[in-house]
Amino acid sequence: QLQLQESGPGLVKPSETLSFTCTVSGGSISNINYYWGWIRQPPGKGLEWIGSIYYSGIAYYNPSLKSRVTISVDTSKNQFSLKLSSVTAADTAVYYCARRTMTTRGEGNWFDPWGQGTLVTVSS
Amino acid sequence: DIQMTQSPSSLSASVGDRVTITCRASQSINNYFNWYQQKPGKAPKLLIYAASSLQSGVPSRFSGSGSGTDFTLTISSLQPEDFATYYCQQSYNTPPTFGQGTKVEIK
């Protein structure tokens, strides 16, 4: 069964760079049918897609965050990573990684499964 | 960005009730639409994909319908484990966007 596990700091200072890694187990990150994504959720609020990456390194970002986000993949470690620069208190959130299933059958795509999530607080 | 608007934002229901949650997209998204369930302190869980396809392992009391701009999630007989927040999501355009959530509470 595929599992995803986020790892990263729980506290980041304003203006610094937030870094997370998602480790995939029970399946290969190089599977051609999937992208791998990051989604965040501020405390008590809704979900926001940050970006997704393919095993080849092709990445797509939310335009609202694009200038500050870099997502990378390491197929040798079955991991993908998120860097968000110049963080502010508004970036305080639970950060989730998830597999994004892509289809060509006219069904769109979806996120499943998700990691358990890690809360990051931006504070000095 | 495509805006997803859920209604209601919250509802109270009893075990055994039939519950319906709706989601409206700001433009047509065909059936590129998904529903998720989130329990407190947990990650979202995929319930329905492509508007009406039940994810493997999800109980059959959950069903989805709709196409275009209007979509519905129905729980035919609410169970104690179904009290949670439900989110809709479109995958028609980038960025994929989510509704604001519907919290289902115990009456």
Q: What is the dihedral of CA A100, A105, A108, A110, to 10 degrees?
A: -30
Would you say residue A21 has pLDDT above 90? Answer: yes
DSSP A9-70: -SEE-TTS-EEEEEEEESS-TT-TTEEEEEEEE-TTS--EEEEEE-TTS-EEE-TTTGGGEE
Query: What is the tens place of the pLDDT at every residue in B1-12?
Result: 999 999 999 999
The pLDDT value recorded for residue A106 is 78
Query: What is the tens place of the pLDDT at every residue in B29-51?
Result: 999 999 999 999 999 999 999 99
DSSP code for A108: -
Residue of B nearest to A112 (CA): B46
The pLDDT value recorded for residue A102 is 86
Cross-chain Cβ contact B49/A110 below 8 Å: yes
The pLDDT value recorded for residue A54 is 97
The CA distance from A124 to B67, in Å, is: 47
Would you say residue B68 has pLDDT above 90? Answer: yes
The pLDDT value recorded for residue B18 is 98
Interface of B with A (CB under 8 A): 30-34, 36, 42-46, 49-50, 53, 55, 87, 89-92, 94-101
The pLDDT value recorded for residue A105 is 79
Residue of B nearest to A65 (CA): B95
The pLDDT value recorded for residue A104 is 77
Query: What is the tens place of the pLDDT at every residue in A69-91?
Result: 999 999 999 999 999 999 999 99
Confidence of residue A43 (pLDDT cuts 50, 70, 90): very high
Q: Are A4 and A113 in contact (CB under 8 A)?
A: yes
